[in-house]
Amino acid sequence: MLYKHLKQMTHSRWAIFSDVHANLEALQAVLADMEGVERRFCLGDTVGYAANPSKCLEEVRRLNCPVLMGNHDEAVASHSSLQGMNAAAQAGIEFSRRKLTAGQREWLANLPLVFTEADCQFVHGSLSEPWDYILDPEDAWAHFSRQTAPLCFCGHSHRPMAWHLDDAGHLSFKIGAGRIQLPQGGKALVNVGSVGQPRDRNPHACYVIYEPQTRQVEFRRVPYDIVKTQTKILKARLPEFNALRLAEGR
């Protein structure tokens, strides 16, 4: 039975996504695109910024897959101070706080920060510090010092990317686009980008499909009805910037 389970897991495909940020149209487009994928993982920040936090949360819950806590999730669930966050982020969090039920906020509050399956780790930001961004080699070094598995997936920066630390201690990275063959040996870190608010100048929703058997990662870009999402954001009286940035991928 164990051998059969491992064989099925090895031949499966995984869909890993992050940073939905209450963008229902982007989430639904991505879920349709990943139809038929065997395993799914959500790396957090389901809420914040856009106008459908409750509906997005319920869509993610219905997947019955591992879901991690992001910094916006934590802020919405805990009602902690928003000092240090920019105005666009604060407005989205305050809006989500008003729209979610007590039960939904409790669900967010109980999400884990890290998840491990097989030889993979999953985190929202960084294994070094939960809400750290991994944008440069120094950030990557700090993360890899805590990564114990050969492969880790993260989100948080909204920028798709793949890092590799080889056995000799050499660090390299690639911009996340198309299909990437992960190197053998060392440690790899894949940033899956953002479903609901990409920041790499590509407005299409982003997530990855991982094939454990071949160690290949495919960065998927999915178009969605951006105008509909923008209209909802403006109607909800959220910052205009939260709407405008979607069409520019920033």
**Coil, strand or helix at 116:** strand
- Asked if residue 91 belongs to a domain, the reply is yes
Q: List the pLDDT tens digit at each of the 250 positions of the chain.
A: 443 444 444 458 999 999 999 999 999 999 999 999 989 999 999 999 999 999 999 999 999 999 999 999 999 999 788 888 899 999 999 999 999 999 999 999 999 999 999 899 999 999 999 999 999 999 999 999 999 999 999 999 999 999 999 999 999 999 999 999 999 999 999 999 999 999 999 999 999 999 999 999 999 999 999 999 999 999 999 999 999 999 999 9
Please report, for the domain that includes residue 86, its CATH number: 3.60.21.10
Non-local CB neighbours of 124 within 8 Å, separated by 6+ positions? 18, 43, 44, 45, 68, 69, 70, 71, 113, 130, 131, 154, 155, 156
- Asked if residue 137 belongs to a domain, the reply is yes
Which domain does 230 fall in, by range?
Answer: 13-248
- Asked if residue 215 belongs to a domain, the reply is yes
Instruction: Name residue 18's amino acid.
Output: S
Q: State both tokens at 74.
A: 């934590």
**Residues forming beta bridges with residue 171, ordered by sequence position:** 165
Domain count, the chain: 1
- Asked if residue 3 belongs to a domain, the reply is no
Non-local CB neighbours of 181 within 8 Å, separated by 6+ positions? 214, 215, 216
Q: Is 195 exposed, middle or buried (0-12, 13-18, 19+ CB in 10 A)?
A: buried
